[in-house]
Each structure stands twice: as C-alpha cells, then as structure tokens.
C-alpha cells in the first residue's frame, strides 16, 4: 500500500499521460460528435503518441478505452457510434493509462456547446467537492475526512452523493485497497500515511442518490433520470500533504 519515491515517480509518469489524454480530447467535445469517435481518438493517442496501454480495454470484459457518461449516466457509460453529443449535454470522460506497469486514472466533466445554468452549476460544484477533498489529504488525516468534505459541500448545495461507487487505491493494481468513500464522518476510517496512492472520484447527483445499472452490465444511471457529474484525480500522499499526479495544465495545486 505504501509506495517508495521511485514507485511514485512511475505513478507520476502514468498520471501525467492520463491528464494529457483529457487535454488532447477537450477540443473535440462538441455537438455532433459521437462518443465512439471520442473513444477512438483517445485510444489512438495513448497507443500511437504516448506508446502506452489503454488500461480499460479488456478490463473485466470492457471493450473501450474510456468511459463516456452523458447526462443521467453516473459512471461506466460505454462509447457508442449512435450516441451523438448535443447542445447542453454534460459528459464525463474517464481514462486510465498504463505505462511501465503503473496506472494513472482520471476523469473530467465537459459541458457541450451552450449549457444551461443548472448543468454548469452541477459540474462546478462537483469539481469543488473533489478539490475540497484533496485539501484534507495529508498524513495523520483519515479517509472519513475525505468523504465528509465531499458530502458536506454537495449536500450544502442541495445535491446528493452516490454511495455505491468509490475511489480506490491504485498502483500496479488498477483497483486496490483502500476504498475511498465519498461520504462519511471526520476522524473515522483508515489513517492516511505518506506514500499512499489512491483516487478520489465523487459522483454527485442533481436529484436523489439512488442508482440503477442497465442491462449491458456496465452503464450506471440515476434512478430518477436527473443528471449526474463526476471528477477524478489520482493522488500520492506526501510528507506535508499530497501531490495530484493527474493534474492538468489548467489546474493550480
């Protein structure tokens, strides 16, 4: 669970590659494009430009490079040539890059074309939930502090937190211990220690927290059909706080 500085350097390289995929795809997230085309562009970039491996391909039978979760889809949306983005859609693109045995896992929300204020607000507040969670990560804090930071900010904005899905430890294993819940009480759960690496990936709903999984076995939607947003970063715990290994150039940490 605890990684050396050399191991974290491998994680840093993979994390930056994952961040670059999201930076690369950003100009293409426009009305009229299919989620299948977005997926293919990400695949080709990882394989041909980064000389890395798209970790999702073949993972537990999943066939695509990214998860593309549009509007009421909470997570694990499958790219499809028939899913064409339109004005006022919101979409989460979730990508994991495998480089030299290390995983970098991250996701970003996009508003498509001209977006309505309620969608823009959901996307913004969900990102704030992630950032507030990152702020509490340091040695001596607890996993419950992370969940509480997210839950408090989401609920104070009249949103709900999805409870069935969580962040996770990460390294040479894609989904490892510990589980990082996005709700909880301060001072509870595992103590955070220097060298731990994990993801934080809050899923915040406009309506209720309840979910349903579609017949494809992957796609998870809100039970009430209202929109959902998610942002994700991979972190390494440092002596004084944490390093965001999947930080994009547009972000300040």
CA angle 18, 96, 167 (to 5 degrees): 110
How far is the first Cα of the chain from the last one, in angstroms, to the nearest whole number?
A: 24
Q: Looking at domain 5-244, which of 1.20.59.10, 3.40.50.150, 3.40.50.10490, 3.90.230.10 is its CATH number?
A: 3.90.230.10
The segments of the chain whose pLDDT lies below 70 read none
Confidence (pLDDT) at 252: 85
pLDDT, tens digit, for every residue of 216-252?
A: 999 999 999 999 999 999 999 999 999 999 999 999 8
pLDDT, tens digit, for every residue of 14-43?
A: 999 999 999 999 999 999 999 999 999 999
Overall pTM > 0.95: yes
HSE-CB for 31 with a 13 A CA cutoff: 7
Domain ranges of the chain: 5-244
């Amino acid at each position: 669970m605890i990684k050396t500085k050399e191991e974290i350097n491998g994680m840093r390289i993979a994390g930056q590659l994952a961040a670059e995929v999201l930076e690369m795809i950003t100009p293409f997230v426009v009305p009229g494009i299919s989620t299948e085309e977005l997926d293919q562009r990400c695949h080709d970039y990882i394989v041909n430009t980064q000389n890395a491996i798209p970790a999702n391909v073949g993972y537990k039978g999943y066939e695509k490079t990214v998860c593309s979760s549009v509007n009421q889809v909470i997570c694990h949306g499958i790219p499809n040539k028939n899913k064409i983005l339109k004005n006022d859609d919101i979409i989460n693109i979730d990508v994991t890059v495998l480089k030299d045995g290390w995983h970098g896992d991250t996701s970003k929300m996009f508003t498509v074309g001209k977006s309505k204020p309620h969608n823009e607000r959901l996307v913004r507040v969900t990102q704030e939930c992630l950032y507030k969670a990152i702020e509490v990560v340091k040695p001596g804090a607890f996993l419950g502090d992370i969940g509480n930071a997210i839950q408090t900010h989401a609920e104070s904005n009249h949103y709900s937190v999805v409870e069935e899905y969580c962040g996770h430890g990460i390294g040479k294993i894609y989904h490892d211990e510990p589980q990082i819940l996005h709700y909880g009480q301060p001072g509870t759960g595992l103590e955070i220690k220097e060298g731990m690496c994990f993801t934080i990936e809050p899923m915040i709903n406009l309506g209720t927290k309840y979910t349903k999984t579609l017949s494809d076995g992957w796609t998870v939607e809100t039970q009430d059909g209202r929109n959902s947003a998610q942002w994700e970063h991979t972190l390494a715990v440092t002596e004084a706080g944490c390093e965001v290994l999947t930080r994009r150039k547009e972000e300040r940490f």
